Amino acid sequence: MWKPFAINPLRASVSPSDPPAVLVSCQVRCMVRASVLLLLLCFLPLCAVPQAAPPVRSFQIDFDRDCFLKDGAPFRYVSGSVHYARVPRAAWRDRLLRLYMAGLNAVQVYVPWNYHEPQPGVYDFSGDRDVEAFLDLAAELGLLVILRPGPYICAEWEMGGLPAWLLWTADIVLRSSDPAYLAAVDAWLHVLLPKIKPRLYQHGGNIISVQVENEYGSYYICDSSYLQHLLGTFRALLGPEVLLFTTDGAQVEDLRCGTLQGLYATIDFGPGSNVTEAFGTQRYVEPRGPLVNSEYYTGWLDYWGGPHASISAALVAQGLANMLQLGANVNMYMFHGGTNFAYWSGADFKGKYEPVTTSYDYDAPLSEAGDPTEKLFAIRTVISKFQPLPVGPMPPPTPKCAYGWVALHKYADLLDVLDVLSPSGPIQSQFPLTFEAIKQAQGFVLYRTQLPRDILAPATLRAPPHSICDRGYVMLQKEYQGTLERDGQTELRVKGKAGDMLDVLLENMGRISFGANFSDFKGLLGNLSLDSRPLSNWLIYPLTIDAAIHQGWPHAAQTKSSSRSRAGPAFYAGTFETPGIAWDTFVKFPGWSKGQLWINGFNLGRYWPQQGPQQTLFVPGSILRVGCPNNITVLELEGAPPNPSLLFLDQPLFNRTINHRLLDKE
């Protein structure tokens, strides 16, 4: 049987003492071996020559030349903030493309922890919450990413991005080395950061830098061990190469507690600041390295009851030019603000509680609806003087539609549909319990008790100071009595009979997102009293309004018998159709007081035209239907107009308020 033999081309010689037959045989074998060698040498260039290694991707700091190095070459970013949580997923590409066409080469992105972990250990990265898809889309469009994963982000977002369920732990100290807080943070980061690591620039992605915490120098605790712990966790999960940084205000006292060795310190300031002095503060902590303004304010946020914020395009453009002239790296906050849909708007505390409006327009270069503004083109002109702009025009504004008037009808008073809104039934308690105590994060909770005795002459129903968090709508025997407020009215005059039903609907207007008053509990934080005598024996109804509406209520439910027209919390419903295409629109509330709006089950946020400055809610065309009715549901809290209807416009309205008599900005 023929057997193959192993060729050893390194041995081609024989011994002179070998017999002739062996010599002939060896000659043949040598010829074969030589032929094999020639074949190997011929094929070697094709399969054995080592290929040139791909260039090493890196993003680093050059402390000698005071700049960033991207792949070893000096680099400067001009970036803009866009928050995917404030923009419907269908509009992500549109917003990022406009940012790119404005000449920016990077986008700065917050990751709100509470948006992704609504309950401990329950994670949601689907749909509008698919942060990985947003990052990948930015990469597809040629944008680098500056990522700000917190765990605290501020951003005027509910509780600064921290989950309300952290407050379920008694006496937890947020943003500190408290073991209970660190355990929750670590669990979250071990879910989030592994999603981020493959998208780091040095791993082939587009994330060039990652912020650790946010503006910690403005937080009163000043726990360097906490920052050290975060630094260790980020390094362990993202690797040693990633550029990590901090951001703080442009004051030396802000940088004292906000910075840490191993984290590059950057600052934030607006167009009214002295650029040289502001960067001088950064140089106080970072004597060498790139100048960075991580939040250059293109506008400002709005509070309910205040004027609509506005900063001139010329002032913003001049400040940007001054920074770029110095060679600084700049991120514009915001480049596109978007909308605080549902209950995601936060609040500030500046001597009093100040809730943020639903609109996060921010007077940004891209409007709330994503349209380019005069400010955008002024910024684009400045950028063109320092680096080439992309070829092609800026995409035009998206079409808007004024769908006109839509009539609504009253469906039911809130108190008449508790079986739908609170299917689990009430919780019994001697004294009121907070939202956190009953493990409800957002929305509304109803507190019910009975009058303990006859009140023939009006008596004072009083709440302890700062115990109404944040607004309480009071009904006695289902008749609306008025409103109690966190930093406003805290008492009402009531009368009735023993056993009469007293209801207080508590609304969470958004947890504080910045400052020391951070553990912002919601609901009735103290007991109500009647002529100084505490009330007791409460029934507490957790309300799951969004779940009911998402399942089709009230449109899919049996029609309720018509409720008589009385004030107080009630639901209204109606429908409208789009003319063949669903375009963005804005809805106005003529004669309405305050409440919440849903269209096709999507929670568009709070309206409060009596308080202003915001008079309209933005309605993205992506949530509307074509060819079938669009379902409108309104929860009006105080009182609807006699003929309830909404007006759909093709532009937003701001600044028509009670407190600030300013002209509409249309």
What is the DSSP track for 100-156?
HHTT--EEEEE--HHHH-SBTTB---SGGG-HHHHHHHHHHTT-EEEEE--S---TT
In the set 156, 295, 436, 507, the catalytic residue is 295
pLDDT at 563: 57
- Would you tell me how many other CB atoms lie within 10 Å of the CB of residue 512? 20
In the chain the first and final C-alpha atoms are separated, in Å, by 96
**How many Å apart are CA 205 and CA 192, to the nearest integer?**
16
pLDDT for 54 equals: 59
* Pairwise CA distance, residues 15 & 25, whole Å: 13
Q: Which residue ranges in the chain fall short of pLDDT 70?
A: 1-55, 517, 560-565, 656-666
pLDDT of residue 42: 35
Q: What are the angstrom distances between the C-alpha of 498 and each of 348, 369, 454, 504, 532?
A: 41, 53, 5, 17, 17
- Helix count and strand count (H, E) for the chain: 12, 34
Angle of helix 224-238 relative to helix 179-196, nearest 10 degrees, comes to 30
pLDDT at 542: 98
Tally Cβ neighbours within 10 Å of residue 18: 12
Angle subtended at Cα 659 by Cα 657 and Cα 664, rounded to the nearest 5 degrees: 30
Count Cβ neighbours within 10 Å for each residue of 482-492 and write b for 16 or more, e otherwise. Answer: bbbebeeebeb
Longest dimension (CA), the chain: 135
Give the pLDDT score at 112. Answer: 98
Is residue 354 flagged as an active site residue? Answer: no
Residue 360 pLDDT: 98
Kindly state the helix (H) or strand (E) to which residue 503 belongs, with its residue range.
Answer: strand 501-507
Check residue 40 and give its pLDDT.
Answer: 33
Q: Which of 158, 213, 215, 368 is catalytic?
A: 215
117 is catalytic: no
